Amino acid sequence: MMLEPGQITAIAGKEFRDRIRNRWVLAVALVFTAFALVIAYFGAAQQGTVGFASIEVTIASLVSLVIYLIPLIALILGFDAIVGERERGSLDLLLSMPITRLELLLGKYLGLAAALALSTVAGFGLVGMVLLTGFDFNALFHYAGFVLSSVLLGMSFLSMAVAVSVFAVDRTRASGLAIALWFFFVLVFDLLLLGALVATGGHAGGEIFPWLMLANPADVFRVLNVFSLDEVRSLYGLSTVFPDGLAAPWKLALVMVLWIAVPLGIAARRFGR
């Protein structure tokens, strides 16, 4: 099927402008800024100190924040993308336009993704400017990697959210499903993994453990950020379970891209019927 880029950008433009106009982008950017500043300042409190620590420790702290916050925000942003239009009654009018269902879906996703990416980059960029004044190029590189991977994390959960919005029959169920996904990937998944590992005394599944982590974009994000930081890698104990070969940033980034493409592809298949 031929895609018409003009139709995709028309939909994406509207979604993006809507989020700018209702100050969603601004609000989320400020939330990121505020949380990040607090965490950067108090992040080392467990070690008995406060104040801005090294960039590696700061990033490690920020990762813990982002892993909770961004999936939640992305899921809330996207869960009603399609089902919301359907429930309000505006979907028929949209689809009566010379637009294909795939173009509509992609337009929705890209517009929302742009809004989320902008607030992520703006929010953490602002914090970055505060944190990085005295740091070197290496620190900047790590921080940029953190921001970029945060954007990817957001997009992967947004992709799941848009899929939810296609499958759910109404908004209420869509929101329930979105929250369930958040619980599963952010809270339950690691617990299950860890539980399985401990229950088997670490003997069974040791080799597939890292692969299982790839089945969760939140974990991929964590590995992506933490593995490259020598200072915190041992803190997480990752080096013991995660093979070097799999931890190459480009491989992990590729997995993230898959986490964006696959849910969206499933959604497109379902929506296109």
Establish if 6 lies at the interface with another protein (CB under 8 A): yes
Q: Tell me the DSSP string of 140-208.
A: HHHHHHHHHHHHHHHHHHHHHHHHHHHH-SSHHHHHHHHHHHHIIIIIIHHHHHHHHHHHTTTTTTTTT
Exactly one of 46, 47, 48, 93 binds another protein (CB under 8 A); which one?
Answer: 93
Provide the minimum distance between the beta carbon of 100 and another protein in the complex, in angstroms, as a whole number: 6
Establish if 54 lies at the interface with another protein (CB under 8 A): no
Considering beta carbons, is residue 1 or 191 the nearer one to another protein? 1
Exactly one of 65, 76, 100, 241 binds another protein (CB under 8 A); which one?
Answer: 100
CB atoms within 10 A of CB 123: 23
Size of the site for another protein (CB under 8 A): 22
Provide the minimum distance between the beta carbon of 165 and another protein in the complex, in angstroms, as a whole number: 17
Considering beta carbons, is residue 13 or 125 the nearer one to another protein? 13
Exactly one of 46, 47, 96, 133 binds another protein (CB under 8 A); which one?
Answer: 96
Considering only 89-97, 167-175, 178-186, 253-261, which stretch makes contact with another protein by CB under 8 A?
Answer: 89-97
Establish if 95 lies at the interface with another protein (CB under 8 A): yes
Report CA-CA distances (Å) from 49 to 43, 53, 65.
Answer: 9, 9, 19
Provide the minimum distance between the beta carbon of 28 and another protein in the complex, in angstroms, as a whole number: 18
Exactly one of 46, 48, 98, 203 binds another protein (CB under 8 A); which one?
Answer: 98
Residues, the chain: 273
Nearest to 152 by CA among 209, 103, 222: 222
Considering only 8-16, 36-44, 76-84, 226-234, which stretch makes contact with another protein by CB under 8 A?
Answer: 8-16
Q: Which two tokens stand for residue 268?
A: 């497109």
Considering beta carbons, is residue 83 or 247 the nearer one to another protein? 83
Q: Are 195 and 22 in contact (CB under 8 A)?
A: no
Phi, psi of 68 (to 5 degrees): -85, -45
Half-sphere exposure of 151 (CA within 13 A, CB side): 19
Establish if 238 lies at the interface with another protein (CB under 8 A): no
List the alpha helices (DSSP H) in the chain. 5-21, 24-42, 55-78, 83-88, 91-95, 101-131, 137-167, 171-182, 189-199, 209-214, 217-226, 230-236, 238-241, 249-272
Establish if 138 lies at the interface with another protein (CB under 8 A): no
Considering only 16-24, 43-51, 154-162, 235-243, which stretch makes contact with another protein by CB under 8 A?
Answer: 16-24
Establish if 48 lies at the interface with another protein (CB under 8 A): no
Exactly one of 34, 45, 97, 199 binds another protein (CB under 8 A); which one?
Answer: 97
| Cα dihedral across residues 235, 238, 240, 241: positive or negative | positive
Interface residues with another protein (CB under 8 A) are 1, 6-7, 10-11, 14, 18, 21-22, 88-90, 92-100, 273
